[in-house]
């Protein structure tokens, strides 16, 4: 997959992102661009800003981000107008381990969007994620835990991993929030279990409630997903990805009672 990286650094004699390289200190947000910015683009900007404030990272400013993004898209070599864009706030400053960041730089990654033509398969992670870890609720460039779990899933013949917390409760996958449908209800893990409050997760929950579909956010063990009508993942690039099985043991019944109506809401 080809990737176009865009930055407006004028002086490249020194590597400017030392704190991101050395300590994983940085933020990112990813979304799909279909000829225009997504309707919830402001939510991506707000999350970057909130995370920068919480983690004491210098925020480059919304106006600057939008202007650089506009130039990046204009300079993109891709002919397609359906793109996956990642905004990265990278950090430079004193190389001392505990020093505060001094500056931030914006790096923009652009790739052609590639969708999923089929449902995906999941495996359960064997490495617990701790629900009290405050970094979970932020999209930081310290992403190696997710990378490792994704690789393990692929090596075992699956597409992605479901992350479990220290209590044995479901949280999310390495690439999105998890939902499943049973009867007339939709279920998803509660944020207190240690998962990213995804922008699309919030949008999906709000949309379901607007359409009188009951959403249950709670603490769930893996057995809670047995015999679902459907399982799906949400994220800001693909919106909704269907799941065909978990560990080759849990499979959707595909009874098509409620899920077709849900899918119709997000086409």
Greatest Cα pair distance in the chain? 61
pLDDT at position 11: 53
135 vs 62: CA distance, rounded Å: 22
* Number of Cα atoms under 13 Å in the Cβ half of residue 257: 12
Homologous superfamily (CATH) of 120-265 is D-amino Acid Aminotransferase, subunit A, domain 2 (3.20.10.10)
Phi-psi region of 190 (alpha: psi -120 to 50; beta: other; left: phi over 0): beta
| CA distances from residue 14 to 5, 9, 213 in whole angstroms, order as listed | 18, 10, 54
pLDDT at position 1: 80
For the domain spanning 4-112, the CATH number is 3.30.470.10
Kindly report the number of other CB atoms within 10 A of residue 134's CB atom.
Answer: 9
Angle of the 62-75 helix axis to the 41-54 helix axis, nearest 10? 130
Dihedral sign for Cα 241, 127, 158, 249, please.
negative
Q: What are the residues whose beta carbons fall under 8 Å from the beta carbon of 14, sequence distance 6 or more?
A: none
**Token couple for 62:** 């919304």
* Number of Cα atoms under 13 Å in the Cβ half of residue 45: 15
pLDDT at position 117: 85
Return per-residue pLDDT of the chain as tens, 267 residues.
899 999 886 555 455 788 998 999 999 999 999 999 999 999 999 999 999 999 999 899 999 999 999 999 999 999 999 999 999 999 998 989 889 888 899 999 999 999 888 999 999 999 999 999 999 999 999 999 999 999 999 999 999 999 999 999 999 999 999 999 999 999 999 999 999 999 999 999 999 999 999 999 999 999 999 999 999 999 999 999 999 999 999 999 999 999 999 999 998
| CA distances from residue 129 to 133, 186, 239 in whole angstroms, order as listed | 8, 24, 24
Would you kindly state where each structural domain of the chain is located, as residue ranges? 4-112, 120-265
Nearest 5 degrees, angle CA 53-CA 240-CA 62? 25
154 vs 62: CA distance, rounded Å: 37
């Amino acid at each position: 997959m080809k990737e176009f990286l865009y930055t407006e650094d004028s002086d490249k004699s020194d590597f400017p992102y030392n704190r991101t390289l050395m300590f994983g200190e940085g933020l990112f947000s990813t979304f799909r661009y279909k000829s225009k910015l997504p309707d919830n683009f402001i939510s991506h900007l707000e999350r970057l800003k909130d995370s920068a404030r919480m983690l004491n990272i210098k925020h480059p400013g919304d106006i600057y981000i939008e202007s650089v993004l506009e130039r990046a898209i204009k300079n993109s070599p891709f002919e397609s107008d359906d793109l996956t864009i990642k905004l990265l706030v990278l950090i430079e400053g004193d190389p001392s381990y505990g020093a505060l960041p001094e500056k931030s730089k914006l790096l923009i990654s652009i790739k052609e969007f590639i969708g999923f033509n089929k449902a995906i398969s999941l495996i359960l992670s064997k490495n617990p994620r701790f629900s009290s870890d405050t970094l979970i609720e932020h999209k930081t460039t310290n992403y190696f835990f997710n990378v490792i779990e994704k690789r393990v899933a692929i090596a075992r013949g699956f597409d992605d991993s479901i992350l479990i917390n220290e209590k044995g409760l479901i949280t999310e996958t390495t690439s999105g929030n998890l939902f499943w449908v049973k009867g007339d209800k939709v279920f998803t893990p509660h944020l207190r279990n240690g998962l990213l409050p995804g922008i699309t997760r919030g949008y999906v929950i709000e949309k379901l409630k607007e359409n009188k579909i009951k959403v249950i956010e709670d603490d769930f063990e893996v057995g809670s997903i047995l015999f679902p009508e459907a399982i799906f993942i949400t994220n800001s690039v693909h919106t909704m990805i269907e799941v065909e099985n978990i560990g080759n043991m849990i499979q959707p019944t595909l009874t098509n009672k409620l899920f077709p109506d849900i899918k119709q809401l997000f086409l």
